[in-house]
Chains A and B, each alone.
Chain A
């Protein structure tokens, strides 16, 4: 890889990003970021500073790096493989833009605003279940059912079916883990089941179109072009796959950040209108997507570094969001004025569901702050590794009931 031809070789830090104990919020990473805007890794380079992440995320010289993920794991066929190679996340150029244009209207922020009262009702319903006990397992009792039921609301599926959807999405999620190859049969079976689900939903809305989100996707057309049934199905699976674990993990990380900053939790409780700001701040300092992967399409030079075609470039979100060069006061601060974070990625693949995620999390957090005083860890928490997508698997907490 061309990193070998970089000037100042000796000063460039090295990070082992696949070591299970590799930590984003560590002395090692802070030192690396101070020494250099990028680090070498066991797979391509990692970009550590805000300005460079911002620039490279939108560079026309880089494309989605995740396209090669199945092949990288020795997976070259099957249902997941076929779906992955045709989904929006990995498509490029006009193939990507065409699908994105047809999906966009359903994600209009104006339409999503209408769902806010349902998000609030859902959050309160979930909190009601555990509020009197003074403790909960935040992921199982709140983050996961909230994230999944928000998607069922969006897709117009009966909310009672959320456990099935959660199970299928988590199983497909194994495809992003290091054990992908061993889990392949399970993953493919889950894709098949989710396909059936999506196909039924599409048929139903084609027969009885309404004003809802899936009807909008089914009816979407532009310049005489429409999504065909396979494209619709692939898109629905991507929304479930890309919208659930991310939101669940991000809510868990939000709780972690606020437990470390109790005065900010009090502030949010007193001023619920800071909910949207709370989401931005948490995603800046504690993002679930810890890096976005890109690949160089051609040889190019950036800041004196020659990057050869084919080089994998990991753009680090947490490191960039707390870079002292861009954030002189990087701590969580709901009243601070900060540049935008890249927890939703950026450029042409900027998260399509961000208005949904922002709307649902910015309702959930102030409602939680208003009802749970002094949340704290009670032990037994379990965590995903820091590579790729992170967050708590289990997060038992205690609190004092406010209302």
Chain B
């Protein structure tokens, strides 16, 4: 299992992470980000892509 955090002060709810890794990130009806902090390593590639595409670079891996 791996763990991520999102810097909520930076996050601007663009939802690009939810396009890249829909199993970990999603946007609720209000357009606000929700995500799983802990996820299966099988999703690591997707999550790395989400980290890359976030326009404000708000997603970080937790060791």
Residue positions of A touching B, CB distance < 8 A: 54-55, 58-60, 97, 100-101, 104-105, 107-110, 340, 344, 346-348, 350-351, 354
Contact = CB atoms under 8 A, between A and B. Distances in A.
Contacts of A105: 49, 52
B56 A340 contact: yes
Given A101-B19, A348-B16, A60 B55 contact: no
A348 B12 contact: no
Contact of A104 (B12, B27, B52, B57): B52
B12 A346 contact: yes
Q: Which among B27, B29, B53 has the highest number of chain A CB atoms within 10 Å?
A: B53
Nearest to A100: B19
A245 B62 CA distance: 40
Nearest first, the 10 closest Cβ-Cβ pairs linking A and B are A58-B31, A97-B19, A108-B52, A350-B14, A104-B53, A58-B13, A350-B55, A59-B31, A100-B19, A346-B14
Interface string B23-35: 0000101010000
Nearest to B45: A222
Interface in B4-54: 12-16, 19-20, 22, 27, 29, 31, 49, 52-53
B19 A60 contact: no
Contacts of B31: 55, 58-60, 347
A344 B31 CA distance: 18
A284 to B, nearest CB: 14
Contacts of A110: 52
Interface residues of B, number: 17
A158 B20 CA distance: 32
A347 B52 contact: no
6 contacts: A55-B31, A60-B27, A105-B49, A347-B15, A348-B15, A348-B19
Nearest to A352: B53
A58 B49 contact: no
A295 B13 CA distance: 19
A230 to B, nearest CB: 21
Given A58-B12, A58-B15, A60-B29, 14 more contacts: A58-B14, A58-B31, A100-B19, A104-B52, A105-B49, A109-B57, A340-B56, A346-B12, A346-B14, A346-B55, A347-B14, A348-B15, A350-B14, A354-B55
Q: Which among B49, B55, B57 has the highest number of chain A CB atoms within 10 Å?
A: B55
B16 to A, nearest CB: 6
Contact of B49 (A60, A104, A354): A104
A354 B14 CA distance: 13
Nearest to B27: A60
Contacts of B57: 109
Nearest to A98: B19
Contacts of B14: 58, 346-348, 350
B29 A344 contact: no
B12 A340 contact: yes
A324 B3 CA distance: 39
Contacts of B53: 104, 107-108
Contacts of A97: 19, 22
A110 B57 CA distance: 12
B43 to A, nearest CB: 12
A323 to B, nearest CB: 16
Contacts of B19: 97, 100-101, 348
A54 B12 CA distance: 8
B24 to A, nearest CB: 14
B27 to A, nearest CB: 7
Contacts of A100: 19
Contacts of A350: 14, 16, 55
A340 B7 CA distance: 14
